Chains A and B, each alone.
Chain A
Amino acid sequence: MHTSARQSLLSVMLSAVIIGINHLYSIGPRAIGLGAMLLLVPAALLWWFRRTQSRVAFAGYLLMNAWIVIGFGLWEGLWRITLPLFLGTLLASLSTTFPSPTLGAYGFEATGILMFIGSLFVAYHAFTLVQVRRPTAAGGRGRFATGALLAVAVLVAAFVWTDQDRWTAPANGVVKIGVIVPKSGPFAILGNSFLKAVQVARQDLRGTKYQYQLVMVDVGSDPRTAGAAIQRAIRVDRVDAIVGGISLFGQVTKPLATKARILQTCVCSVTIIGDGAYNFTNIPTPEAEGIRWVQEARRRGITTVAMLSGLYPPSIQGHVTAVKTEAAREGVRIVSDQTFDTGTTDFRAMIERAEAGHPDVYYVEAPEPALDQLAQQLSATGIHDFTSVVAPSLSTQPELFEGTWYTDSDLRDFGFKRRFEEMYPGTQFATHMMPYAYDDFNLIVQAYERGQNPAVYVRNITGYEGMAGPVKKAPRSGNFESMPAVWTIKNGKPALVH
């Protein structure tokens, strides 16, 4: 009894330490309390039992063991960490009907495996302890091994069955598609334009097998509070798939869509949102914008550039960094590189410094109202040769950018823009996201019309001809890739150059 009890307590204490470390990744410092409880309570119960032979103490000790084995070892260690890591990865490599698992940091995964292994020792020593106390109990090591193997085999089979994404026909023939964009706050122009582009796409559907219902999810302007609205759409409205825009909110949606195992197509430039399992991004990357911008600059004989850019939103600096990287590779010199914060209204000193470098062109990118103020002050100084990535199409005074060239999403079918403007006069058509919003909605429709699970359908796509021209996706990638086009402002409106 003495040896069995010591070995049992040792395995429990080692497992408690591993459980504590593993939970530091998920619940933070509270994991120390959990680990301490798992260390101290079984030790106290066993001490009590050995002093008094109390049945209550022994039952309590065995219950703690059961919690460690079932709750932490089998459920968390095996089911939620070890099986997705090894079996999930293997299955995803064999068939696209299985999603690539979402993995945590190595420390989390490694301690998850150790939690499972530790729980086997806990179970074995608890079994031995029971046998020592009740020698008449049937079985031995062989019985334990058979039971453990059977339990693991059942869990493995259950994992293979539940991990696969299968087609289910929509309830009552209605497919609910959540449209997740902000309709208020600083992103309202893009959000409203995005929503209307999806509405045009829905309006354009002809003779479909199922009905497609849009569920608007206004996520406001703060990503910290957006999660609740997205959760409600998934749990209460029971959306079948999500089309989203704006990376800030795509990042919030990603874990929720993964947990609910529903497809999110996101018009997001943050490529890490696209995991190739349930989340896919679809818009030119900042790198693609940078490459296209420098190609055009070289075609126009530009060799020197002065850059004036806002520090917020961060996507602007994403473009700036990509343009600078590509410019350096292609021998286009940046003679001045100045940034400013949101509150800046007087750009004259900056313009003066930029002028000193005698650039061929001025690269400007900023949110409103800074963008228009900067354009006004440049024009007032007699500077009209400025350029950008995306920004002029979002200007509230595009006439300030007359003749300016910039890169932005391609638009193959101008009929889409015409229909949009006819249906929603007064709503700005923000070219950057709209073709992709239209395509993303149609990807979901195509999946349902073909009777395929939408996530599996999108995993299988390697390219398509869309509203923004040819779009490609590498196998298993979560990022659709496309090349932006060159635009100019002509008669106060965006016009495609090539």
Chain B
Amino acid sequence: MSTRALRWTAIAVLIGVALSGAYLIVAHNSPALSVTAGATSAGVFH
């Protein structure tokens, strides 16, 4: 494999790792909607 091909492979792997890591973090941080949180999205009593 040429140096150029190696360089592009390394870049592609780095981008892949960054995007996968981002996916895991975003999925982990998504608010866990409770059974009724959606229904009370404009809660007025409180």
Residues of A that sit less than 8 Å from B by CB = 82, 85-86, 89, 100, 103, 105-106, 109-110, 113-114, 117, 186-187, 190, 223, 245-248, 251, 267-272, 275, 283, 285-287, 312-319, 321-322, 325, 367, 390-391, 394, 432-433
Closest to A81 in B: B22
Task: Report whether B42 and A314 are in contact in the complex, using a CB–CB cutoff of 8 Å.
Answer: yes
Residues of A near B21 (CB, < 8 A) are: 86
Residues of B near A267 (CB, < 8 A) are: 46
A-B contacts, 29 of them at CB < 8 A, read A109-B22, A114-B19, A223-B42, A245-B46, A246-B44, A246-B46, A247-B41, A248-B43, A269-B40, A269-B45, A270-B40, A270-B43, A271-B31, A272-B33, A283-B46, A285-B34, A286-B35, A313-B43, A313-B45, A314-B44, A315-B42, A317-B39, A318-B36, A318-B37, A321-B35, A322-B36, A325-B35, A367-B44, A432-B46
Residues of B near A223 (CB, < 8 A) are: 42
- B23, B29, B36: the one contacting A287 at CB < 8 Å is B36
Shortest distance in angstroms between B3's beta carbon and chain A's nearest beta carbon? 13
Task: Report whether B33 and A313 are in contact in the complex, using a CB–CB cutoff of 8 Å.
Answer: no
Task: Report whether B29 and A103 are in contact in the complex, using a CB–CB cutoff of 8 Å.
Answer: yes
Q: Contacts A86-B25, A110-B22, A113-B18 given; indicate if A287 touches B34 (C-beta within 8 A).
A: yes
CA A285 to CA B42, docked complex, whole Å = 14
Q: Contacts A270-B40, A287-B36, A314-B39 given; indicate if A110 touches B19 (C-beta within 8 A).
A: yes
Task: Report whether A313 and B42 are in contact in the complex, using a CB–CB cutoff of 8 Å.
Answer: yes
CA A43 to CA B7, docked complex, whole Å = 27
Task: Report whether B46 and A271 are in contact in the complex, using a CB–CB cutoff of 8 Å.
Answer: no
Task: Report whether A394 and B45 are in contact in the complex, using a CB–CB cutoff of 8 Å.
Answer: yes
Shortest distance in angstroms between B11's beta carbon and chain A's nearest beta carbon? 8
From 1 to 25 in chain B, residues with beta carbon under 8 angstroms from any chain A beta carbon are: 15, 18-19, 21-23, 25
CA A396 to CA B4, docked complex, whole Å = 78
CA A366 to CA B40, docked complex, whole Å = 14
Q: Contacts A85-B22, A113-B22 given; indicate if A272 touches B39 (C-beta within 8 A).
A: no
Q: Contacts A106-B22, A113-B19 given; indicate if A186 touches B39 (C-beta within 8 A).
A: no
CA A394 to CA B22, docked complex, whole Å = 46
Residues of A near B15 (CB, < 8 A) are: 113-114, 117
Task: Report whether B25 and A313 are in contact in the complex, using a CB–CB cutoff of 8 Å.
Answer: no
Shortest distance in angstroms between B13's beta carbon and chain A's nearest beta carbon? 13
Shortest distance in angstroms between A439's beta carbon and chain B's nearest beta carbon? 14
CA A312 to CA B35, docked complex, whole Å = 18
Question: Assuming A270-B41, A314-B43, what are 16 further A-B pairs, CB within 8 angstroms?
Answer: A82-B18, A85-B25, A105-B26, A106-B23, A117-B15, A247-B42, A247-B46, A268-B43, A314-B40, A318-B36, A318-B39, A321-B36, A322-B36, A391-B45, A432-B45, A432-B46
Closest 9 CB pairs of A and B: A313-B44, A318-B40, A247-B43, A315-B43, A286-B36, A318-B36, A272-B31, A315-B45, A269-B43
